Structure 1
């Protein structure tokens, strides 16, 4: 790239580098391991025996909340159809929200996908505790929700949440969307197509906006949407169990555009 710039730099209108696609996993710290599940449902929830029905009740509670949230806010919610690209399908709702200069959730997709959860089994041999159950991590197919969001800071993002305990979340964001919002806030003229800025009134402002994206900014917005759209917990549960998210980067793309 340095050689290319030296040879053809006089032909380049401007150059910038930034984060592009970012995929982040969010784990509920207090429900990520079998022993955490035991503590949550027995010690905090008061259940004498942890059964499949107890875990299912949490799933039904969250699924009912999502349906009510969509209904109360008049947000379209639908099952994802095979062969249809989700991002293309929701574009008209995204553009409508952008035109209105509004922020929030504009579409929810439901999708049956394989995700992480727990299985419960009765011990093969008797134990001193008749309520003892074997709880182990497993992967199974269940409903996941894709929340399409127009965020005031990050721009268009997607939050995917599994409806089975431990309610693992995945977040999809793009650095170009963040830069676009920064330039608009600074009243800098630009022309953007897909994931590239084709023209800009202030190149230094463009690079400064790209450099501004930080873990602190991302965490603040993800924490907000996780609290708003994630599974609900009582004050007692939040007080006794660490139910904040631990974030881990799954994929990150960095681009050098000219």
Structure 2
């Protein structure tokens, strides 16, 4: 007996059912960078005595340069999102699928492109004060402002695709990883020669439902973390 009352009630009319992770977003943070005192200590450890916006910008410039070099290494384009139509509510994903994913028939790890866009995010800024004695003093504070974001789209040999890695180009440099559990299952079914049909983002027919459910159960935190560790090294470790 299944715990789902709907399935129990209509079991005679249900050919198969499954449960899996769908569209998954995992966010990563450097926790200490959300503390202004820790940011000050970080700047001192990096050899900076001043806490100016110019100093903070140095790390952004280093990241921008690093990602540009990696894009050249992988032979992929960096698209400025507003210049190719822009849009919200899944527009980036649709653009990627229409231009890149629909043409991809390969396997393994493959980087497709990088989309950049400005988004209003929580970040850090510096404000200058002048003391009564005329000395300049800089104070760091939290704020929200438009910051350049990188979306690195790729196909993963284990999780399938499309996936993306995202990083904000300014302190505190939050990151994001996206994948779709259905794409992982598709890879497993293809490897085992199991036929299936899909409508949008769901399986509507599968020749061996047990194989589908087995694949769905294989998606866990350890598997995803292993893929994140493998995939973020070339782009996120400067």
Q: TM-score range by the shorter chain?
A: 0.7 to 0.9
1:94: how far off? Answer: 1.9
**8 Å Cα contact 1:19-1:175 kept in structure 2:** yes
Q: Using a 3 Å threshold, how does the CA distance of structure 1 residues 14 and 38 change in structure 2: closer, same or farther?
A: same
Q: Secondary structure at the match of 1:133?
A: strand
Q: Secondary structure at the match of 1:120?
A: strand
Answering whether residue 107 of structure 2 is matched by residue 108 of structure 1, we say no
Alignment of 1:56-205 (within 5 A): 56-80=57-81, 81-83=85-87, 85-91=91-97, 92-97=99-104, 99-123=105-129, 125=131, 133-156=138-161, 157-205=163-211
**8 Å Cα contact 2:70-2:234 kept in structure 1:** no
- Equivalent residue number for residue 219 of structure 1: 225
Query: 1:82-105 deviations in whole A, cap 9, x for unaligned?
Result: 3371112112312333x1224232
- In 1, the alpha carbon distance for the partners of 2:142 and 2:192 equals 48
RMSD: 2.3
**8 Å Cα contact 1:31-1:166 kept in structure 2:** yes
Q: Secondary structure at the match of 1:90?
A: helix
1:143: how far off? Answer: 0.9
- In 2, the alpha carbon distance for the partners of 1:123 and 1:165 equals 21
**8 Å Cα contact 2:130-2:136 kept in structure 1:** no
How many matched pairs? 228
Aligned structure 1 segments of 4 or more residues deviating by more than 6 angstroms = none
1:3: how far off? Answer: 4.0
**8 Å Cα contact 2:121-2:145 kept in structure 1:** yes
- In 1, the alpha carbon distance for the partners of 2:132 and 2:183 equals 58
Show structure 2 runs of 5+ residues with no match.
none
**8 Å Cα contact 2:108-2:156 kept in structure 1:** no
Greater RCO, CA 8 A, separation 6+: 1
1:76: how far off? Answer: 2.1
Q: Using a 3 Å threshold, how does the CA distance of structure 1 residues 227 and 180 change in structure 2: closer, same or farther?
A: same
Instruction: Name the TM-score, length of structure 1 as normaliser.
Output: 0.79
1:64: how far off? Answer: 1.8
